[in-house]
Amino acid sequence: MSRARKRLLVFGGLLLAWLALLRWGNDVAIAFEDDAPSRSHGTPGNGRLENGKRLPSRGDNFRAYSSLGTLIGRNAMHHAVRDSVVDAYAALASSRPDTRYVYAETGWPSGGRFRPHRTHRNGMAVDFHVPVTGADGRSRWLPAYSWNQWGYGLEFDTDGRLGGLRIDFDAIAAHLLALDEAARGHGLRIEVVIFDPPLHAALFAAEGGDRLRQRVRFSPRAAWVRHDEHYHVVFAPAR
């Protein structure tokens, strides 16, 4: 066998191994997690986490923003938050089976500084990319790639439009209500949601918007970076 062929085989094997690691690495990491409960210390802006648990990379109606991000553990959180997120997606798979949801970054398994974010340090905050529809009105996976900062670089206008994509405000309202319900079942509550204030009116006008406004608190102030392509949800222990 020639050297060129050997090199090609080695390269092909390494490429396949890398692709397999991206596809199943997070699943393997989850399989090796222990059953110890998580412990959250401090605040989202100044805290840490013990025994953080990773979110699954995908489900019937959701997927992660980045296979690389989940591989290295940027999708970890407190176990009760994880269970709330998974339960909410399961409820939505029944009530909105055609809607596609993409979650974004959460934090490290041990919490702490989480660049470039200013928070996400104690396992109690989760970013969710906005669900979107295409020009035909059908749900689409939000395009999250390295060249658009894994979705964080997308810029929607004040009507929730970006090219042929449109923010599905009905789907956001349904998701947040499902999260609120699931969180209550795990001893949590939604403390606050950070979402671009100019988009609040469209969200509250959506199906379920009135109920959402009554049950969930939204920050009225703009964040240090615009939260139009994602909504940042902070959980806290139930009162």
Residues 148, 151: Cα–Cα separation, whole Å: 6
Nearest to 130 by CA among 148, 156, 164, 96: 156
Bridge partners (DSSP) of residue 13 are none
> What is the model's pTM?
0.93
pLDDT for residue 124: 97
**Are residues 93 and 44 in contact, defined by beta-carbon separation less than 8 angstroms?**
no
Residues 172, 228: Cα–Cα separation, whole Å: 12
62-64 and 101-103 beta bridge pairing = parallel
- Sketch out the chain's domains with CATH numbers: 33-237 (3.30.1380.10)
Q: What are the tens digits of pLDDT across the range 17-58? A: 777 777 888 999 999 999 999 999 999 999 999 999 999 999
Q: What are the tens digits of pLDDT across the range 68-90? A: 999 999 999 999 999 999 999 99
